[in-house]
Structure 1
Amino acid sequence: MTDHTHRTSYTDRTDQLVLNAFVYPEGHHEAAWRHPATTPERLLDPEYFVDIAGTAERGRLDAIFFADSPAVTGNVELRPGAGFEPLTLLSAIAARTEHIGLVATASTTYNDPYTLARAFASLDLISGGRAGWNIVTTVADVASANFGLTGHPSAEERYARATEFVEAVVALWDSFEEDALLVDPVAGRWADPSRVHPADYRGRYVSTQGPLNVPRSLQGHPVLVQAGSSNAGRALGGRFAEAIFTAHQRLEDAVDFAADIRARAVAAGRSEKDVKILPGLSPFIAATQKEAKELEAGFTELINPAFNLPTLNGLFDLDFTEDDLDTVIPLSAVRATGQTLDNNHSRSQVVAGIIERERPTVRQLLGRLAGARGHRVFTGTPVQVADTIEDWFRAGAADGFNIMPPYYPGGLEVFVDEVVPILQERGLFRTEYPGTTLRSSYGLDVPENRWTVQRAGKAGRVPA
């Protein structure tokens, strides 16, 4: 049940929006790669992504974000399903940009803390403090065989490991105190060994000795992002996350989710302001409502039901075929899974809500899923898009948004050129970057190094 104790009135909030560009190479609509507005032949061209990052930076957006999975998922015959490892790609982008944040997904189930801590800390140094880690436990069970495992761990085990994993990574990121590096060739001293510490982390699932062999960056360490909305995901996010990526169709659901996360953060000894809540928004934008609807329809016409049908069947243990596209999905099939009764499976919960409220046919629901995989799709003019962003922001449902253009690169370009100026005119979004790090863009404090805190005898975060 949502705890509303810490709900705040946001009507007159004076802070500004956080806006990320969620980069799905061809676009977030399932059929985007087939649309003439996209260039699928460039999806393995690094310059394509440098250009996208440049557009985001031109719009003064906070960050670009890349999702990732350690496996081929979906039907590669029907949609592009292979590409760059995001940390490698973001390192290339870092060299060609100055301010845009660089957020990548990495799994706590199929990595080890030392390697991941080193990779993200390196990106953070390379970029001058612009890195962020989107923490996931990996839903796709096909990943297990890629790592020599006989099966995918349960959700309970994955989240228990994730908690330890994050603790270990943060401990490693604290290895070097800010004043550890002396770089004194005259005295012959590179570093002060009393300011370099082992993590010495021992858990049930992960262990690491340290110290990490990468010093801290200008922003202390990468921003911790989390993208799970299940009960276990909320617990993890409330404890650790500095930004939460989430999916909501309705304002009231988003308000309840945000209140719950903020309450969990406070219960964990943090402030509500320590976490930015960022729902996904996939906007079809045109000069008029009619033109925006026509734009969306052009993508809908290209949907291949065979692509998302296995996903829908898997969510609720159904067995629909392409012969059942005009069948109304029975509520009994959804309720039998319990998805409407709890939030143990966040994406199923969102889809179950659509089914209960709208009673769609299989074809209609596949069309909804094709738009942004359960994230909110909005179709309208630049002013209308700006209005819905402002409404959610002022209602306390969001601190900003993960913008999920249905097609790239044009979908991001029109958002930057047509919507961002409106938000700037309303005083809701910056006209210049406030600093050079991702934390400065998000309005987050630099985390204190636990060893510096201990040395000073201050109250604060202590070694895990």
Structure 2
Amino acid sequence: MNTPRTLHLNTNVTGTGRHPAGWRTLANPKSIIDLEFFATIAKIAERGKLDAVFLSDAVALRGHAQGPAQSLEPTVLLTALAGVTRHIGLIGTASTTFNDPFNLARRFASVDHLSAGRVAWNAVTTYDPAAAANFSFGDAPDKQARYARAAEFVDVVLKLWDSWEDDALIADRASGRYADPARVHAIAHDGPHFQVSGPLNLPRSPQGRPVLVQAGGSEAGVALAARHADAVFTAQTTFEGAQAFYREIKALAAGHGRDPRHLLVLPGLYPVIGGTLAEAQQRKAEMDALLDRSAELAKFANALGVDVVDLRLDAPLPYHLIDNGERAEVSRGFIRSTVLLAQSENLTVRDLLDRNPGAHRMIVGTPETIADDIERWFVGHAADGFNLNADVFPSGLAAFVEHVVPLLQRKAIFRRDYEGTTLRDHYGLPRPSSRYAVTGTDGVATTAVAS
């Protein structure tokens, strides 16, 4: 109980970086499809002893005329990165709306085996009508339907990951026994969305099961995270708002009988780093000069659920027009964090566009300024760590690793070396037991894998 908390840091890889024009500064602007580009990011993160590399995902093409979007399928890319790293965790996003539980459980468990226990699944729902059109859906499901499916989807995946007990794989050459059928269980799931017999067709993964992450700030998303997730990725733009969210979700987890320390709260953070404040501001200004401002304004309006003509650059947000939750294709977490930031500092639309449109908190400054801010949020229980966004990869991440990480280590809040081998080890999470091993009665033993 008296073990000191340790700061947790992931690097959040979205395209070639968070700044929309950052790709224009790269020697290879087509890096989005270059394995060496991503391998370099992973190796820099591992050099800095970061917990994990996190890959976002999108399953529809949008905005490609202005810049790169996430394109490579996350588990495929993570498998490749597992081969060029030894310690760093590997987190991939996959939607519960347009996937199948058995295939997804198998995919992530496979990468967990191939990486020796370094994988996490970031479970998200998808509200994009363009994505629905790619998966034979007439329309994107509404929020209630998405989260009802998501809750059952996650339940099925966890059952499948538990369907093999730890000692079920015997592989005894002398006796000829390969698996113990009494320790391999059908899950016999029969629900409104899924009917899955199980078991999974590969043994229990090195972590017991891959780490489960949830991203999203809606009420339904928070409820799902509190019940099941090991970590939650969230958009928090104010210190007091982040503290309130931290208390709320930890209390919800405790209400489910969970140890709240085993649900990590990891807000996004977007540092722009310079040796001096002027250097950091200049770095940002050089990228800002390459932006298509009209395109950025249009994207911002769409994210808020308003028409672009309703946004006046030097006026506050039109709070009375911002989407009230009726539109399926907006993020409630994004809107909440943006409104909180705008109101707390009385920001104009132009101010918000200058601050990563409110999505994740931006700090432009020196390594000392950024390290002090991270410490304040961590010590103040506004976060257990951060999902770090680089303005452009790999230079933005390299600056953080070379100049901010040593300061965090001197503050004695961040590791100097990895102390375990799995992502659960990095996150300080216990290894879960199979639910079937605990009760012995939840599943039906099968001999299907004993041959």
TM-score with structure 2 length normalisation?
0.93
Specify which of 377, 387, 397 is matched with residue 402 of structure 1. Answer: 387
Query: What is the distance in 2 between the residues matched to 1:323 and 1:127?
Result: 47
Structure 2 vs 1, CA of residues 338 and 176 (structure 1 numbering), >3 Å: closer, same or farther? closer
Counterpart of 1:43 in 2: which secondary structure? Answer: helix
Give the equivalent residue in structure 2 for 1:4: none
Counterpart of 1:260 in 2: which secondary structure? Answer: helix
Greater shift, 142-151 or 314-323, is seen at: 314-323
Query: What is the distance in 2 between the residues matched to 1:87 and 1:171?
Result: 20
Partner deviation per Cα, 1:265-292 (whole Å, 9 max, x = no partner): 0001101111110011110111111211
Query: What is the distance in 2 between the residues matched to 1:172 and 1:13?
Result: 33
| 1:51 aligned partner, one-letter code | T
Give the equivalent residue in structure 2 for 1:209: 197
Give the equivalent residue in structure 1 for 2:341: 354
Q: Does 1:45 align with 2:30?
A: no
Structure 2 vs 1, CA of residues 323 and 103 (structure 1 numbering), >3 Å: closer, same or farther? closer
Counterpart of 1:332 in 2: which secondary structure? Answer: coil
Q: Does 1:288 align with 2:263?
A: no
Query: What is the distance in 2 between the residues matched to 1:203 and 1:213?
Result: 21
Give the equivalent residue in structure 1 for 2:126: 138
Counterpart of 1:15 in 2: which secondary structure? Answer: coil
Structure 2 vs 1, CA of residues 50 and 200 (structure 1 numbering), >3 Å: closer, same or farther? same
Query: What is the distance in 1 between the residues matched to 2:226 and 2:85?
Result: 31
Counterpart of 2:121 in 1: which secondary structure? Answer: strand
Task: Describe how 1:61-100 pairs up with structure 2 within 5 A.
Answer: 61-73=50-62, 75-81=63-69, 83-100=71-88
Contact 1:246 1:279 in 2 (8 A): yes
Q: Does 1:253 align with 2:253?
A: no
Q: Does 1:117 align with 2:105?
A: yes
Task: Describe how 1:2-41 pairs up with structure 2 within 5 A.
Answer: 14-34=4-24, 36=25, 39-41=28-30
Partner deviation per Cα, 1:339-392 (whole Å, 9 max, x = no partner): 9xxx9811111122234344544443333335xx61000011111111000000
Structure 2 vs 1, CA of residues 324 and 226 (structure 1 numbering), >3 Å: closer, same or farther? same
Greater shift, 156-165 or 12-21, is seen at: 12-21
Partner deviation per Cα, 1:244-275 (whole Å, 9 max, x = no partner): 10111110000000101100100011011111
How much does 1:224 deviate? Answer: 0.4
Query: What is the distance in 1 between the residues matched to 2:412 and 2:369?
Result: 17
Counterpart of 2:134 in 1: which secondary structure? Answer: helix
Query: What is the distance in 1 between the residues matched to 2:96 and 2:263?
Result: 20
Specify which of 402, 414, 422 is matched with residue 407 of structure 2. Answer: 422
Contact 1:72 1:82 in 2 (8 A): no
Greater shift, 155-164 or 317-326, is seen at: 317-326
Specify which of 158, 166, 181 is matched with residue 146 of structure 2. Answer: 158
Contact 1:232 1:344 in 2 (8 A): no
Counterpart of 2:363 in 1: which secondary structure? Answer: strand
Give the equivalent residue in structure 2 for 1:433: 418
Give the equivalent residue in structure 2 for 1:364: 351
Specify which of 287, 290, 296 is matched with residue 302 of structure 1. Answer: 290
Counterpart of 1:436 in 2: which secondary structure? Answer: coil
Query: What is the distance in 2 between the residues matched to 1:195 and 1:323?
Result: 60
| 2:372 aligned partner, one-letter code | D
Query: What is the distance in 1 between the residues matched to 2:86 and 2:415?
Result: 16
| 1:346 aligned partner, one-letter code | G
Give the equivalent residue in structure 1 for 2:171: 183
Structure 2 vs 1, CA of residues 432 and 82 (structure 1 numbering), >3 Å: closer, same or farther? closer
TM-score with structure 1 length normalisation?
0.90
Greater shift, 102-111 or 76-85, is seen at: 76-85
Structure 2 vs 1, CA of residues 210 and 374 (structure 1 numbering), >3 Å: closer, same or farther? same
Partner deviation per Cα, 1:309-349 (whole Å, 9 max, x = no partner): 33332244422249954555333323x7379xxx9811111
Structure 2 vs 1, CA of residues 21 and 356 (structure 1 numbering), >3 Å: closer, same or farther? same
Unaligned runs of 5+ in 1: 1-7
Query: What is the distance in 2 between the residues matched to 1:267 and 1:450?
Result: 20
How much does 1:38 deviate? Answer: 6.2
Query: What is the distance in 2 between the residues matched to 1:129 and 1:116?
Result: 16
Query: What is the distance in 2 between the residues matched to 1:394 and 1:363?
Result: 32
Contact 1:32 1:38 in 2 (8 A): no
How much does 1:29 deviate? Answer: 1.1
Counterpart of 2:271 in 1: which secondary structure? Answer: strand
Specify which of 93, 96, 100 is matched with residue 108 of structure 1. Answer: 96
Q: Identity of paired residues, percent? A: 44
Give the equivalent residue in structure 2 for 1:5: none
Specify which of 158, 166, 186 is matched with residue 170 of structure 1. Answer: 158
